[in-house]
A = this chain, B = another copy of it.
């Protein structure tokens, strides 16, 4: 089962965090950009391949620290065909380096269309990743084509409560005394029941923003067996103390994401004078280590440290 593979990697690395590979050209160090500007004539291609090399630097810098990476496909689609080639190469490189890949694609469509998306990302027709994120707005028949891949060692994380401010517009509405995100959580629990692995967790997980710790606490009760993929730590304002609520008492149950906070660490005042130019990846490595330690310390204080 996907979820057991994920838990195994988390235990091996003693780290329940994931780095979001959301490259932007302004994060890429100048020496890499210069190389690709010379190499390729079109701006799009040189930018895309500069981002690939940057991604490889990041993966090399963190591969012994984190269990997985989370590439956000939007930042690759924004560079068109070349960007999607780079998405594919990034996934391949991450897997070759022993990392699981949780692709953040947030797809969601009616059954026959959802099946095409599932084939693309979980069936390997485009690129084979270990799990993807999925949008629940279209309901169960839009989810089943994805969950069916859980029997084939794949996983999905369904949006319940997202990290952004406007998540309140729909997700916080109350229907029969429950918030919409609670009702989605109950569905996620039900949809995941068939796919519970050796550790008691399901390969059907949930996306719950770190920016709403009280919601996280509540949803942790609703879906005991669901793994939470938690965005919003770091740059978006979620703290280690906030995300502690996403873990169960057994110290498992959540994986915390940071994107900009890690992959743009070399641009932060804290690191930029210490690690210059070609050493930028050391800032990224340092930020990934600090995130791991920050979360593990908070877990320890709350008697939730697993390892």
Interface residues of A (CB under 8 A from B): 22, 44, 72, 74-75, 77-81, 83-85, 88, 106-111, 113-114, 116-117, 119-121, 125-127, 135-143, 159, 162-171, 173-176, 180, 183-184, 187, 231
Beta-carbon contact of B142 and A164 below 8 Å = yes
Task: State whether A138 and B126 are in contact (beta carbons under 8 Å apart), knowing that A107-B106, A117-B74 are contacts in the complex.
Answer: no
- Nearest Cβ on chain B to A232's Cβ, whole angstroms: 9
A-B contact pairs, 8 of them (CB 8 A): A72-B113, A74-B120, A78-B125, A136-B170, A139-B165, A140-B166, A140-B169, A143-B166
Beta-carbon contact of B137 and A137 below 8 Å = yes
Task: State whether A165 and B141 are in contact (beta carbons under 8 Å apart), knowing that A75-B113, A75-B116, A136-B170 are contacts in the complex.
Answer: yes
Beta-carbon contact of B159 and A78 below 8 Å = no
CB neighbours of A159 from chain B (8 A): 137-138
Beta-carbon contact of B180 and A162 below 8 Å = no
CB neighbours of A22 from chain B (8 A): 113
CB neighbours of A140 from chain B (8 A): 166, 169
CB neighbours of A113 from chain B (8 A): 22, 72, 74-75
CB neighbours of A166 from chain B (8 A): 138-143
- Nearest Cβ on chain B to A256's Cβ, whole angstroms: 16
Closest to A124 in B: B80
Task: State whether A116 and B77 are in contact (beta carbons under 8 Å apart), knowing that A142-B164, A164-B139 are contacts in the complex.
Answer: yes
Number of identical protomers: 2
A231 to B113, CA, bound (A): 13
CB neighbours of A137 from chain B (8 A): 135-137, 159, 162, 170-171
A119 to B75, CA, bound (A): 10
Closest to A173 in B: B175
A111 to B162, CA, bound (A): 11
Closest to A178 in B: B173
CB neighbours of A164 from chain B (8 A): 110-111, 138-139, 141-142
Beta-carbon contact of A126 and B175 below 8 Å = no
The 5 closest A-B pairs by CB, nearest first: A139-B166, A139-B169, A141-B166, A74-B116, A80-B126
Beta-carbon contact of B170 and A78 below 8 Å = no
Closest to A74 in B: B116
Task: Please indicate which of the listed interface residues A75, A121, A139 has the most CB atoms of chain B within 10 Å of its own CB.
Answer: A139
Closest to A141 in B: B166
Point out the residue from B117, B141, B168 that lies within 8 Å of A78, measured CB to CB: B117
Beta-carbon contact of A187 and B169 below 8 Å = yes
- Nearest Cβ on chain B to A19's Cβ, whole angstroms: 16
A-B contacts besides A77-B117, A80-B88, A173-B173, 13 pairs, CB < 8 Å: A74-B107, A77-B126, A80-B120, A81-B88, A106-B107, A135-B135, A135-B137, A136-B170, A137-B162, A139-B164, A139-B170, A139-B171, A173-B183
